[in-house]
Structures are given as structure tokens and as C-alpha cells.
Amino acid sequence: MSQTDLYTLVGSALFVIGLYALMTRPHLLHKVLALNISSSGVFFVLVGIARRVGGPVPDPLPHAMVLTGIVVTVSSTAFALALAKRIYTETGTAALDAADVDVGESLGG
């Protein structure tokens, strides 16, 4: 198995793990983290692609894309977290659906 295969397969796995968590975890913080894991997966795929030809120096273009992608992800994560936090401040819970909240339980969330 080549280095490219290893990185791109791990990246694919991370993407799918994030996707699963996004769909199944009701807590907004989990959802935001799930998207972060998925984006790390995409970056892994790109880093793997940068090495597909081999040689001493990797392809700089996927690296530049990853750097741009990281900044975009940092921005959207910051914004999503601020949104989640504001929702928590306004509603007292951090979920999208009221059905995902155990009203019976005591403080927390």
C-alpha cells in the first residue's frame, strides 16, 4: 500500500465517521465537532494526493488548498459555535429539536 493510499483511505474513513456523528448526535457541539472531523478527513485526502507521484518534494497545490481549507473551517467552526452558544443562551438547550431534550433530567446540557 502506497503512502497516498494510506492517507486517502484514512481521510475517507474520517469523513464518514464525521458524517455518521453529524446525523446521529443531537447535541449541537457534537454536530459541530463531527463536521470538523469530516473536514480533517478531506484535508487528509488532499495531503495524500499531494504525494501521489512521489519524489522529494510534495505537490504544493493540495497543500495550499489545505491551508485555505483550514482557515475556512476555522472561520465556519467559530461561527457555528457562536451560533450554538447563542441558541443555548436563548433556549436553554443545545439541540435543534425539542424531541432531543430529556426534559425530566436536572440541570445540565
Partner 1 sequence: MAEWIARQLPALVVLVPFTAAPLAYLLGTGFGRQIALISALLSQPLAILLAVTVVREGELRYEVGGWGGPLGIDLVVDGFTAVMVLVTTVVGLFVTVYALGYFGNRERYRFFWPLWLFLWGSLHALFLSGDIFNLYVCLELVSMSAVALVGLTLRREALVAAMRYMLAAILGSLFYLLGVALIYGAFGSVDMQTLREVVRSDTTGQAALALMTVGLVLKTALFPLHFWLPPAHSNAPSPVSAVLSALVVKGSFYILVRLWVDVAEPMAFPGVSTVLGVLGSTAIIWGSIQAFRQQRLKMLVAYSTVAQIGYLFLLFPLVTGGGQAAADAWMGGIFHAVSHALAKSAMFLAAGTVLARFGHDRIDGLGGLSRRAPVTAMAFGLAGVTMMGLPPSGGFVAKWQMIRASIESGEWWWAAVVVTGGLLAAAYVFRVVGPFFGREVDDLDDADLNAGPSPWTMESAALVLAIGALVLGIVGQPLLDLIMVSAPALVAGVTP
Partner 2 sequence: MGKVTAKSPIAVRVAALAICAGVGALLARAVLAIPETEPGLAPLVDANLAVSGVKNAVTAVLLNFRGYDTLLEIAVLVLATIGVLSLSVTQTGTWDPIAAQADPVLSALARFLAPVMILVSGYLLWAGEHAPGGAFQAGSVLGAAGVLLALSGYARPIWVSRFALRAAISVGFVVFLATAIGEMLAGGLLLEYPADLAKTLMLVVETWLTVSIGAILISLFIASASPAEELRRRSGGGE
The one of partner 1, partner 2, none whose footprint includes residue 6, by CB under 5 to 8 A per kind, is none
Site string for partner 2, 41-60 (x = CB under 8 A): ----x--xx--xxx--xxxx
Give the DSSP H/E element, type plus range, for residue 21: helix 3-24
Report whether 39 contacts 68 (CB < 8 A). no
Residue among 13, 35, 39, 47 that touches partner 2 (CB under 8 A): 13
On the CB side of 55, how many CA atoms lie within 13 Å of its CA? 9
For position 8 contacting partner 2 by CB under 8 A, the verdict is yes
Find the farthest-apart pair of alpha carbons in the chain and give their distance in angstroms, rounded.
61
User: Which one, 15 or 43, has the nearer CB to partner 2?
Assistant: 15
